[in-house]
Homo-oligomer: A and B are copies of this chain.
Amino acid sequence: MAALRDVAKKAGVSASTVSRVINRPDTVPTTTKSRVLKAIKNLNYHPNKFAQRLRSHNVDRKLVGLLVPDIQNPFYVDVVKGVEDYCFERGYAVLMGNFMQDEKKGQMYLEVMQSEEIDGLIVAPIQEHHKTISQFKEKKIPIICIDRGLKNIDVDVVLVENEEGAYQAVDHLVKQGHIRIAYVGGIPSIPTTLEREKGYSQALLDNGLNVDDELIKYGDSTHLSGKELTEELLQLKDRPTALFTGNNLITLGALETIHKHKLHIPGDIAIIGFDDMPWSISLNPPLSAVSQPGYDIGKRATELLFQRISDPKRSPVKVVLKTKLILRESG
């Protein structure tokens, strides 16, 4: 591995000159510069990042941390893709952590990212993370939140109109004549679950229907939980005629249970879920869904992150993206 001094020797200059060529090219005359550049090329020299970093902590690491709750959820895959594309264009790499809604796992990743001295963090937090994340704040490492903000800490956040999105879906269901509409939610402690529940209830209320607690279920935002909760709902003596599901994994689980019972959609039971998927159209039946712009969310979050990296003191903003109700055949 060629080092700075090798380049210096080859070019017949001192190490400092080489360093200047690399870091402040305009401070060295063209003739010297070209000689150094040639030596660099010749030796295939690449600065040692560890030495650079050790010497000056303020140099960019070109590394962004990304912490997502569940990589198997297609929505987050879109987000990841958005982040990755944007970073790639700017020569940044992504250090990814998939914490599976697990606090300990999230904690571990946060520590790794801290010791890697990432330039910034994009995270879809679950409540418990607050304390460790605030360490980032103290260390002046920019944080952008996705999907949900953070209590007690003022950070940039990009999210969607969860309440509004849920409202539209449920309102549509009511307009179709449904009276008993259930909500199959995710983890009750995370804001999105609650906001969607709020939109659900409001739509019911606004249409003169009352909210029946029996029809509101919470789980853990997984496929399995979607299956089980739907099963419970179908066991009810006065079973719902429509389902509003809290995310795509839950929707898929619900679908499975409904099919197991040989129920017809939307004849026997209608279903609209949060999160559209590329293959929604190929499901049985083609699924109506509240579409979230996952890719854009990732992209916007990264945009915000780079803004904050270059201007750490700009005041935090909140970007709210719209959802879109996509009607197909399930409800």
Question: Are the CB atoms of A255 and B279 closer together than 8 Å?
Answer: yes
Interface centre among A54, A114, A259, A282, by most chain B C-beta atoms within 10 angstroms, is A282
Q: Which of B98, B114, B282 contacts A259 (CB 8 A)?
A: B282
Question: Are the CB atoms of A71 and B77 closer together than 8 Å?
Answer: yes
Residue of B nearest to A111 (CB): B46
In the bound assembly, the distance between CA atoms of A69 and B33 in angstroms comes to 39
Note all chain B residues with C-beta closer than 8 A to A115: 46, 49
Q: Looking at the assembled complex, report how far the CB atom of A291 sits from the nearest CB atom of chain B, in whole angstroms.
A: 16
Note all chain B residues with C-beta closer than 8 A to A141: none
CB-CB contacts of A72-85 with B at 8 A, as 1s and 0s? 10100110110010
Interface residues of A in 56-105 (CB under 8 A from B): 62-63, 71-72, 74, 77-78, 80-81, 84, 88, 91, 93-98, 105
Q: Is A2 an interface residue (CB 8 A)?
A: no
Given A72-B77, A105-B88, A116-B49, CB of A259 within 8 Å of CB of B281: yes
Question: Are the CB atoms of B281 and A282 closer together than 8 Å?
Answer: no
Q: Which of B49, B50, B93, B97 contacts A93 (CB 8 A)?
A: B97
Q: Is A252 an interface residue (CB 8 A)?
A: yes
Note all chain B residues with C-beta closer than 8 A to A252: 278-279, 282
Note all chain B residues with C-beta closer than 8 A to A286: 259, 284
Question: Are the CB atoms of A72 and B62 closer together than 8 Å?
Answer: no
Chain A interface category by residue count: 35 or more
In the bound assembly, the distance between CA atoms of A285 and B72 in angstroms comes to 23
Q: Is A48 an interface residue (CB 8 A)?
A: yes
Q: Is the interface of A mostly helix, strand, loop or mixed?
A: helix
In the bound assembly, the distance between CA atoms of A281 and B223 in angstroms comes to 13
Note all chain B residues with C-beta closer than 8 A to A317: none
Note all chain B residues with C-beta closer than 8 A to A281: 256, 259
Question: Are the CB atoms of A71 and B80 closer together than 8 Å?
Answer: yes
Q: Looking at the assembled complex, report how far the CB atom of A320 sits from the nearest CB atom of chain B, in whole angstroms.
A: 25
Q: Looking at the assembled complex, report how far the CB atom of A100 sits from the nearest CB atom of chain B, in whole angstroms.
A: 9
Residue of B nearest to A97 (CB): B93
Question: Are the CB atoms of B284 and A285 closer together than 8 Å?
Answer: yes
Q: A71-B77, A252-B279, A279-B279 are in contact. List 15 more A-B contacts (CB 8 A).
A: A49-B115, A50-B51, A50-B54, A71-B80, A72-B78, A72-B278, A84-B98, A88-B108, A93-B95, A93-B113, A94-B96, A95-B95, A96-B96, A255-B282, A284-B286
